[in-house]
């Protein structure tokens, strides 16, 4: 007999999945117990360097261990490989009902300063292990051409 791969048992931590999505806004809708995501961000155009950018991240965890919390952190890395912003580790735990896949959704907003154009990477780590990355292209727009 084959094993059911759709088991809701999340006791195996190797099943943990994490997804990262960058948006211009992420809002909790408390009365509906859900999140409302703004526009997905793939690129940001800035008028000059350095420039302060603000990005909201929706983070989804599935198959969380039922018996303990995990720590997640988020970093923004510039094209030169320098960490320009970081959110320190935050503890999370399963918030789902028993008939659901164990998991948790959360969000974080980061304000960071960009000093060059290029592809910046948002990195999501769980207990220090890289789980997902999200690229954001930063470019300078030509103010005169846009007038």
Could you tell me if residue 1 is inside a domain?
no
Identify the CA nearest to 9 among candidates 96, 133, 79, 136.
Answer: 96
| Nearest alpha-carbon partner for 38 in 51, 28, 52, 53 | 28
Residue with tokens 């909790």: 28
Q: Specify the CATH number for the domain of residue 101.
A: 2.60.40.2550
Residue 117 lies in a domain: yes
Average pLDDT over residues 142-147: 66
The yes-or-no verdict on residue 81 having pLDDT over 90 is yes
In a domain, 91, yes or no: yes
State the residue range of the domain holding 65. 13-138
pLDDT at 3 over 60: no
How high does pLDDT run on average in the chain? Answer: 89
Q: Is the pLDDT of residue 2 over 60?
A: no
Query: How many structural domains compose the chain?
Result: 1
Instruction: Note whether residue 45 is domain-resident.
Output: yes
């Amino acid at each position: 007999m084959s094993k059911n791969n759709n088991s809701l048992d999340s006791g195996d931590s190797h099943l943990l999945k994490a997804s990262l999505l960058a948006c211009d806004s992420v809002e909790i809708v408390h009365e509906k117990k859900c999140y409302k995501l703004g526009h997905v961000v793939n690129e940001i155009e800035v008028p000059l360097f350095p420039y302060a950018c603000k990005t909201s991240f929706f983070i989804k965890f599935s198959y969380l261990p039922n018996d303990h919390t995990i720590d997640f952190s988020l970093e923004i890395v510039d094209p030169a490989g320098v960490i320009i912003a970081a959110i320190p580790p935050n503890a999370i735990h399963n918030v789902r009902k028993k008939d659901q896949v164990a998991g948790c959704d959360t969000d974080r907003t980061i304000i960071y300063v960009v000093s060059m154009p290029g592809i910046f990477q948002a990195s999501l780590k769980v207990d220090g292990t890289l789980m997902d990355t999200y690229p954001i292209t930063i470019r300078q727009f030509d103010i005169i051409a846009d007038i």
